[in-house]
Structure 1
Amino acid sequence: MHISGNTIFIPGSTSGIGLALARRLQAEGNTVIIGGRRTDLLEQIGRENPGLHTVAIDVAEQASIDAAAAQVLSAHPDLNVIVAMAGIMRIEDWHRPESFLASAESIITTNVLGPIRLIAAFIEHLRSRPEATIVTVSSGLAFVPLRVTPSYNASKAAIHMLSESIRLQLADTGVQVVELVPPAVRTELLPGQQDSEFAMPLNEFVDEVVTLLRDQPDATEIRVERVEFLRHAEARGDYDQVVASLNAADPHGN
């Protein structure tokens, strides 16, 4: 993925990593469309960020994805990058089904079915472009589990393997598949995470991501240095120690 000259759609980008990345990518010379559920918030972001386009979308609803895709492609037929940023994370207690089942279903719908449906809505258009990119968003927790967030961990592991698989299938096209693998970042993904000393400052994270995108246009994974501890734990042979360290240190890792 080239760092500039793209038209990029980022659903789930009205706050946190998504919004910060959207602003930085716009500053790098890209046309950026952000998506979210709250139209009032989208209007506010549009007023505060001239040139940043907005569209309403709920990635948990198929009809909303279809409507947003039609709107985006009508207004931006040169679209060549989608970033499946939308995701939710919740603390769960799996001792009793009534305390986790609804949460688990919601997480899988948003974090796994959402990106799948999003890619399905855009894949034919992306294949028609000379160069295009699908950016998925997994997590360090795709590789090492945080005890209190089982469904989130599983959803991000699914996104990692989905990314690996569709990259193989799309190798005969001009569509690149790039997996963004964040560590814990200071956002409001979990209550209190924005103030966690264990989480990476948001601006530092986005700065490093943009640098990696600029320096590694052919990368299949974008990993900041702080996530390597989790990403390669099994390969290094210290998986059990990393699991113990992660779960002893911080309930807000992602």
Structure 2
Amino acid sequence: MKTNAYQRAEMPKGTNSVIDQRSLRASNANLLTVLRPGQHVLDVGCGSGAITAGIAEQVGSDGLVLGIDRGAELITQARQKFAGIGNLSFEAVDILEYDTHLRFDVITTARTLQWIADPIKVVQKMISLLAPEGVLCVLDYNHEAISWQPAPPPEMRSFYDQFLRWRADSGMYNDVIDRLPEMLESQGLRITLNQDESEYREKGEDGWQTHAGIWSKVAEMRGTQLVSDGYVTEEQRQIAIDTYDKWCQTAGQSMRLYLRAVHAQR
């Protein structure tokens, strides 16, 4: 039986090896334009808390930061790693099931809406938790607009296309960030920022192998789900990894992940 969107979005084991490398300044710098001392901030889909901890530093001891994620294991890691930060807490809960009397000056969600079927429900829920004049900040991808130079091996291109189909068939939007402004405006919010935050590396730059090699990681960690759901065979998955690793080391020159930041206010 094929899995649904909720199951497909579950973080595979080993995902934190990728997300733990992120930081506020390197991976979510758009927030620096809105964070102020004393604010109450909600981080939706916080993972293991690497970016959330940076947010807590920005709002200071008079502020309050809560990170939520439905991955209980990730939340356990976040609580252990950042236990010493007094204005920071974490809760394992789905945003649609989260209830609180608190209202937040800033609600942020980064690289999360891409994993949600029918994201308008999540958008509406986050808006309901905003304080008057609060700001909703979203950072996410359009996976259809990825750019490799030169083209990756056909085996990886085929895997990538199946990965997008696997996502789309469950209701996820591969181009969610480009749909988002219209979603937010339909809910009565005013767009205050819509800017390119694309992640780009060239061979020879620091981080090239990690950046370009993300699709080998996806094939390793998510690829088994595609095999189970019948989108690729195990042989196709392995060949995609092998040929793409070789491309990263030899022919590959650059890769751009299309990423945008969209902020909106009541």
Q: Normalization by structure 2: what TM-score?
A: 0.46
Higher share of residues assigned helix: 1
Higher share of residues assigned strand: 2
Q: Which has the larger radius of gyration?
A: 2
